[in-house]
Structure 1
Amino acid sequence: MQRRGELLQLVLNRPQTNNAYSVEMREGLCEAFSMVNLDPSIRQVNLTARGRCFSTGGELAEFGSVSDPASAHQIRSLTLPARLMLASAARYHVHVHRACIGSGLELPAFAGRLTADPQTFFSLPELSMGLMPGAGGCVSLSRRMGRQRTAYLVLMNRKIDAPTALDWGLIDAIVEGEPDAVAQAD
Structure 2
Amino acid sequence: MTYENILIEKENGIAVVTINRPAKLNALNKATIEELHHTFGTLEHDTTVKVIIVTGSGEKAFVAGADISEFANFSVEKGTVLAAEGQEKLFDFVQNLKKPVIAAVNGFALGGGLELAMASHFRVASENAKMGLPEVTLGVIPGYGGTQRLPQLIGKGRAMEMIMTAGMIDAKTALNYGLVNHVVTQEELLHFTKEIAARIAKNSSVAIAKAIKVINDNYTDGVNGFASEIKAFGECFGTEDFKEGTTAFLEKRKPEFPGK
TM (norm. structure 2) is: 0.65
Match of 1:128 among 137, 142, 162: 137
* Unaligned residue ranges in structure 1 (runs of 5+): none
User: Quick one: distance in 2 between partners of 1:131 and 1:4?
Assistant: 40
Question: Equivalent residue for 1:78?
Answer: 85
Structure 1 residue 165 corresponds to structure 2 residue 174: yes
Match of 1:64 among 54, 57, 72: 72
Query: Which sits farther off after the overlay, 117-126 or 73-82?
Result: 73-82
Query: Which sits farther off after the overlay, 159-168 or 33-42?
Result: 33-42
Give the superposition deviation at 1:86: 0.7
User: Quick one: distance in 2 between partners of 1:37 and 1:76?
Assistant: 23
Please tell me the residue identity of whatever aligns with 1:54.
F
Question: Equivalent residue for 2:16?
Answer: 9
Root-mean-square deviation over aligned CA pairs:
2.0
Give the superposition deviation at 1:38: 4.2
Kindly report which structure 2 residues correspond to 1:8-157, keeping only aligned pairs within 5 A, or say none: 8-39=15-46, 42-51=49-58, 52-65=60-73, 67-80=74-87, 81-88=90-97, 91-157=100-166
- CA 1:89–1:73 in 2, change beyond 3 Å: closer, same or farther? farther
* Unaligned residue ranges in structure 2 (runs of 5+): 1-7, 197-260
- CA 1:20–1:89 in 2, change beyond 3 Å: closer, same or farther? farther
Please tell me the residue identity of whatever aligns with 1:43.
K
Please tell me the residue identity of whatever aligns with 1:31.
H
Would the aligned equivalents of 2:86 and 2:144 in 1 still touch at CA under 8 Å? no
- For residues 80-131 of structure 1, give each alpha carbon's deviation from its aligned partner in whole angstroms, at most 9, with x where no partner exists: 3111011027601111122111111111012222011111111211011100
User: Quick one: distance in 2 between partners of 1:27 and 1:169?
Assistant: 30
Please tell me the residue identity of whatever aligns with 1:83.
D
Higher RCO by CA contacts (8 Å cutoff, separation 6 or greater): 1
Give the superposition deviation at 1:180: 4.2
- CA 1:38–1:90 in 2, change beyond 3 Å: closer, same or farther? closer
Larger Rg: 2
1:79 counterpart SS class: helix
Please tell me the residue identity of whatever aligns with 2:49.
I
Give the superposition deviation at 1:157: 1.6
1:166 counterpart SS class: helix
**Aligned residues with identical type, % of pairs:** 23
User: Quick one: distance in 2 between partners of 1:106 and 1:26?
Assistant: 13
TM (norm. structure 1) is: 0.89
2:54 counterpart SS class: strand
